[in-house]
Structure 1
Amino acid sequence: MALFLQHKTDDIQWAVWKMEESLEVLLALLPDARRVFCEQELNRFVSERRKMEWLSVRVLLYAMLQEDKEIGYSPEGKPYLTDHSFFISISHTKGYVAVMLASFTPAGIDIEQYAQRVHKVSDRYIRSDEQTEPYQGDMTWGLLLHWSAKEAVFKRMENADADLRKLRLTHFIPQEQGTFQVQELATEQQELYSVGYRICPDFVLTWTLS
């Protein structure tokens, strides 16, 4: 079983699954009825990577709860549990998937693989009044945290504006793990969201706190 990371508090939990198994091995980790359903659903996908991501999310959800749950999607594409037992958020990057569950408020989680491409598109998500800081001398980590945190908050918000520059991170010095705040500037309320983060050797993970 490739349960890579797991975190749980009274009202939220998240986990990261490292995608190492074959589809056949993943299917065997599910209860019988869910396995049959997933085998049929996999036929909808052409890409092997997409099949692996989709199935790994279902296996991870079952590993987290040890209960069979079904994931539905809103017209906007947001995932939800059909029994409404938890709010759910899903993210994936090369080699990993992440799932977050929250008891009382909508959830937002994002996982981003370490990659230099964040430098090329930084004008799409970094504001002129934001200050990014390096982690262990590498600015890529700081940029990744900005990108990932804004994606997580975007998932958490209702009817969010897709322009990530309408979200502003408070200044922070990246550590291996910690928290910071993100303010949305798209509405009159200009709500402030607390975000947890963790830097791993090949990815960053961010998630909204209640």
Structure 2
Amino acid sequence: MLSLLPLDNEIRVWHLSLDLPPNLLARCEAVLAEDERCRISRLQRPGHRRRAVAARGQLRWLLARGLGVTPQALVFGREPHGKPYLLDHPLRFNLSHSKDCLLVALAWDGRLGVDVESVRALPRMAVLAQRCFASQEYQVWQAAGARADDFFRLWTLKEAFVKADGRGLALGLDRCRFDLHPPRLVAAPPECGRVAAWQAHAWSPAPGWQAALCVRGGGGRLVTGTLAPGRLF
């Protein structure tokens, strides 16, 4: 059975479900800090609040089980653009969720960004691609048939990159450029560091889903797995 935490020179990405029964959702809510509760309470839709509780709660339980502390003992800080990190601990993490799918990426060094999306047809997909992809990426995507799976493979890579950088969408998705097969960063703003210092991964965590991970200044072997709630609670 895999350890919850990564080994040295390893990146661990766990796939979890946000569709929790009421008793486990209550255990997630019980360990949230006051600032987390306040942020979640501002979400308009009940389904969004439920998923946010399940995501933040399971993150706390996962980190706590791995580190051997209580979930309530974990203290998080935020970078200037809002990226969360663990205070007073070297473990790095990043999470992404879409619908009821949650990914949590863990590593001991480097800057992590992970993203997950359901692969689906989007209205005006070509318009969105032209606005958010670099011109070379858009041309390659169009020449390959403008397929939804390639769109989301590239989209998740770019989202993972801006999350790893820490500035998120404020950086601009069109300012980084990727090759898709295999996934590789080929161009980025100078302030993001050397392109060669970045590592990129793309995979499908479940049928109909696309995930991507970007790491700067660390990385190693990628190990993915699915985590049932019974491992956490």
TM-score range relative to shorter protein = 0.7 to 0.9
Using structure 2 for the length normalisation, give the TM-score. 0.69
Which one of 181, 184, 188 corresponds to residue 185 of structure 1? 188
Q: Does 1:99 align with 2:97?
A: no
Secondary structure of the structure 1 residue equivalent to 2:183: strand
Amino acid in structure 1 at the alignment position of 2:24: V
CA-atom RMSD in angstroms: 3.3
- Following the alignment from structure 2 to structure 1, what is the Cα–Cα distance between the partners of residues 23 and 43? 16
Amino acid in structure 1 at the alignment position of 2:131: R
Q: Is the 8 A contact 2:17 2:101 kept in 1?
A: yes
Which structure 2 residue ranges, 5 or more long, are not aligned?
220-233
1:13-162 → structure 2 map (5 Å cutoff): 13-28=12-27, 34=31, 41=38, 42-61=40-59, 62-63=61-62, 65-66=64-65, 67=69, 68=71, 69-117=74-122, 118-130=125-137, 131-132=140-141, 139-159=147-167, 162=171
Which one is further off, 160-169 or 34-43? Answer: 34-43
Using a 3 Å threshold, how does the CA distance of structure 1 residues 146 and 15 change in structure 2: closer, same or farther? same
State the 4+ residue runs in structure 1 displaced beyond 6 angstroms.
Answer: none
Q: Where does residue 207 of structure 2 map in the other structure?
A: 201
Q: Where does residue 165 of structure 1 map in the other structure?
A: 174
Using a 3 Å threshold, how does the CA distance of structure 1 residues 103 and 115 change in structure 2: closer, same or farther? same
Secondary structure of the structure 1 residue equivalent to 2:210: strand
Task: Using CA pairs under 8 Å that are at least 6 residues apart, name the structure with larger relative contact order, 1 or 2.
Answer: 2
1:143-167: CA deviation from partner (whole Å, max 9, x where unpaired): 1010100110111125576221111
Which structure 1 residue ranges, 5 or more long, are not aligned?
1-5, 173-178
CA shift, 1:74, in A, is 2.9
Identical pairs, percent: 19
More helix by share: 2
- Following the alignment from structure 2 to structure 1, what is the Cα–Cα distance between the partners of residues 41 and 21? 16
